[in-house]
Structure 1
Amino acid sequence: MLNIADTLRQWCREARPFALATVVQVSGSAPLPVGTALAVDTDGTAVGSVSGGCVEAAVYELCQDVLAHCGPPTRAGFGYSDDDAFAAGLTCGGEIDVLVQRVDPAAEPHLVAALEAVAAGRSCAVAHIIDGPGELLGRTLHVPAEGPHDGTLGGENDQVVVAHAHALLRAGRTAPIEVGGDTDTCPTKLTVLVHTHARRPRMLIFGAVDFAAALSQAGRFLGHHVTVCDARPVFATRARFPYADEIVTDWPHRYLAATETDARTAVCVLTHDAKFDVPLLRLALALPVGYVGAMGSRRTHGHRSDLLREAGVPEEQLARLHSPIGLDLGARTPEETAISITAEIIAHANRGTGLPLSHGTGRIHRPAPPLPRLATAP
């Protein structure tokens, strides 16, 4: 639902009831991921999408029906149809389940608070019951990245859901979880979809070179918070890097040691100068970041790897290094190289092969990586 947060926030401010249709389950090559939503207000205005166009009309009718009759939440499935060209089917061959519910802003102040947080750029999650007892179906819970949660899903499962929501926020993922079903502690079994609005993943580019200028633009386009860092102030300027969110003049390894990183951070080393690369990569490869890549020829990579071994970097950390950086696209210009690098970052994050889809078989969309494990007390 957070894909249409701006409009929902406006409707809530106007105390305007609306029907919310949320994709809660996907199989096969469905066009949009779990958590994507379409909403319809009492005037019939629609915003968002659940299928990219395939089944929008049928879902719109369900929304209008729920609004008109103030009915309970309802779940509907849509799949491939080739018998009737006008049937509500997904021509891509996938299947989706959609939960449709009426939302009255006056009765959902915690949802309104979540939408306000998204508008303000704060990280938060919305836990949304998508399967369970009828009286609980459609309930939501607002989980800020910091501070207490707001609302309730029914009591005994709230703290467990909040812990999962924080883990998903750290990973920047929207995903369903199952909680309850324990007769002693949490007898009510629920499937809860955790919608997350996390801050943009970071892309740290080291080396104020032409390739960095193109990469900063590509990274910004893909939604990264881009930082360009170089020890030479004459090159690290706003004029050269208009698309970067931050430009830092500092020694690369010193900046990396002092800045915040997480499992979604991409570290791109474009300096190909040993005096910068070795201390920087030695630190980067020891951090739990999502991607570490370094520019240079195969000869440069071999020499740099020897220097890293001499600096004490173990082989299991060296195996994390993507070097020469990028996928083999035949790239030559800075712009083409930026596409090559960002393509590798995407493939690595999503466990893709980097091969043409026409060379493969089976499903196009891979299952999501395993959910992050909850931290446990020692």
Structure 2
Amino acid sequence: MWDIASSIASWQAAGTSFALATVVRTSKSAPRGPGASMAVSADGDVIGSVSGGCVEGAIYELAKEVIESRTPALATYGISDDDAFEAGLTCGGTIDIYVRPAGGTHHPHLAQALEAVRASRPVAVATLISGDPLRERDLVVTLDGTTGTLGAIRLDTAVAERARGLLARGESAVVRVGPHGEQLDEEVSVFVHSFSPPPRLLVFGAIDFAGAVARIGKFLGYHVTVCDARPVFATRKRFPDADELVVSWPHIYLENTAVDENTVICVLTHDPKFDVPLLKRALRTPACYVGAMGSRRTHEDRLVRLRETGVEESALDRLASPIGLDLGARTPEETAVAIMAEIIALQWGGTGRRLTETTPQPIHH
């Protein structure tokens, strides 16, 4: 819901009634994962997406019904065997979508969750999605407390513990709790929607390629930082899409900033006096990706210099250099696509090959 958070907040501030549809479960080849959201206002405006176009029409109609009835609904969509015009996922998967009223007195804890999202604070919203009829019950879970209730104290405690585990991994999922030990009549299903701070993309070297990488990185949901020691190049005019612009020696900045397993580091400086001390430190961080731009000759020279500074072979094996996939890229924008495509492939286990060449492997890993 990162992509629609600001619009939803605007609707709430204006007192607009709307319905919020969220993917809570998927199976097989679903186009979007749990947590993908779409909102429909009482005026018929639509933001977001739950399936990339497969079932949006059906969800739109269901959302209007939910706004009118003020009652949540849980719907399942998949391949339609009987009616080619019935809503279905042509990709062969199945998705469960929870649609609920929001705005006004409905979904009262949404504002708290949206504020945490905008402030990049980890937060999870646990919603009861079982029972007949469905009831609006939510538990907002942060690292240091909870707000709201799912209807039973022990249920809240059990779900909060599991929600924090999912939040630590940045995952959204349905959890089942009870009935034993939870004072519940039957097992209940709770959807935990996790909002972890966006992953970081650290781009070193304020060159034209860096501007293109920053633009695509921002589009993909990264918190983008561009760092260069030269203030004449690291300017807001040149990098309007970056969340942060830092004028500092790259290796010094890297020593003093947070790097975790979700951080991506792209070294585009093309200068050994920047590259070598920076990469020496970058390869010893837990960053999930460290890539460096340059020709194959530059790469070989860079490896020699890094070995001379004591960088271990196991660390050098982590280095993606030359950076990016072989797309035949020429322009900065094409090169940025090649770089981010490599990162996406590594993240999700993609091959980087054409899909027509990967039959019968599934499209969504």
TM-score computed with the length of structure 2 as normaliser: 0.83
CA contact (8 A) 2:155 2:182 kept: no
What is the distance in 1 between the residues matched to 2:210 and 2:2? 32
Whether 1:124 and 2:123 are equivalent positions in the alignment is yes
Aligned partners of 1:322, 1:135: CA distance in 2, in Å? 53
Matches within 5 A, 1:148-297: 148-153=145-150, 154-171=152-169, 173-178=170-175, 180-181=177-178, 183-184=180-181, 189-297=187-295
Kindly report structure 1 stretches of 4+ aligned residues shifted beyond 6 Å.
185-188
Query: Secondary structure, in 3 states, of the residue corresponding to 2:148?
Result: coil
8 Å Cα contact 2:101-2:107 kept in structure 1:
no
CA shift, 1:93, in A, is: 2.5
Query: How has the CA–CA distance of structure 1 residues 316 and 182 changed in structure 2, closer, same or farther, with 3 Å as cutoff?
Result: farther
Equivalent pairs, count? 362
Shift of 1:327: 0.6
Secondary structure of 1:345's match? Answer: helix
Post-superposition shift, 1:176? Answer: 0.3
Report the equivalent of 1:80. Answer: 79
Amino acid at match of 1:32: R
CA distance in 1, matches of 2:232, 2:18: 54
2:227–2:247 contact (8 Å) kept in structure 1? yes
- Residue equivalent to 1:21: 21
CA deviation after TM superposition for structure 1 residue 267, in Å = 0.6
Whole-Å separation in 2 of the counterparts to 1:2 and 1:246: 19
Distance 1:8 1:235 in 2: 37
Residue of structure 2 equivalent to 1:373 = none
- Name the SS of the counterpart of 1:106 in structure 2: coil
Post-superposition offset of 1:258: 0.4
Q: Cα distance 1:8–1:205, how it changes in 2: closer, same or farther (>3 A)?
A: closer
Give distance in 1, aligned partners of 2:7 and 2:243: 26
- Cα distance change on mapping 1:274 and 1:110 into 2, 3 Å: same
- Aligned residue identity for 2:297: R
> 2: CA distance between counterparts of 1:250 and 1:7?
35
Distance (whole Å) between structure 2 residues aligned to residue 241 and residue 248 of structure 1: 11
Asked if 1 retains the 8 angstrom alpha-carbon contact of 2:25 and 2:174, the reply is no
Question: Per-residue deviation at 1:254?
Answer: 1.0
Looking at structure 2, the residues matched to 287 and 294 of structure 1 have their Cα atoms a distance apart, in angstroms, of 15
SS of the equivalent of 1:302 reads: helix
The residue matched to 1:341 in structure 2 has which SS? helix
Taking the aligned partners of 2:60 and 2:37, their CA distance within structure 1 comes to: 11
Q: How do 1:128-143 and structure 2 match up within 5 A?
A: 128-130=127-129, 132-134=130-132, 139-143=137-141
Q: Give the structure 2 partner of residue 375 of structure 1.
A: none
Hey, what's the Cα distance between the residues in 2 that align with 1:328 and 1:272?
Answer: 19
1:313 paired residue number? 311
Q: Which runs of 5+ in 1 are unaligned?
A: 367-378
Is the 1:2–1:36 contact (alpha carbons within 8 Å) kept by the matching residues of 2? no
- Per the alignment, do residues 149 and 194 of structure 1 end up closer, same or farther by CA in structure 2, a change over 3 Å counting? same
Look up the equivalent residue of 1:99 and give its one-letter code: Y
The share of aligned pairs that are identical, in percent, is 53
TM-score by length of 1: 0.81
Aligned pair partner of 2:332 in 307, 312, 334: 334
Residue identity opposite 1:254 in structure 2: I
1:44–1:302: structure 2 CA closer, same or farther, 3 Å change rule?
closer
Change over 3 Å in CA distance of 1:272–1:14 after alignment to 2: closer
SS class of match (1:99): strand
- Is 1:89 aligned to residue 88 of structure 2? yes
Match of 1:298 among 293, 296, 299: 296
Change (3 A) 1:136 1:152: farther
Q: Deviations over 1:190-225 (max 9, x none)?
A: 543332334332221222333223322332333322
1:39-77 Cα distance to aligned partner (Å, 9 max, x none): 455666655443344334433444444555555x44322
Question: For 2:253 and 2:70, how far apart are their aligned partners in 1?
Answer: 56
Deviation at 1:346, TM superposition (A): 1.6
Letter in 2 for 1:55: V
- 1:150 and 1:250 map into 2 onto residues whose CA distance is 41
Query: Distance in 2 between the 1:119 and 1:34 partners?
Result: 20
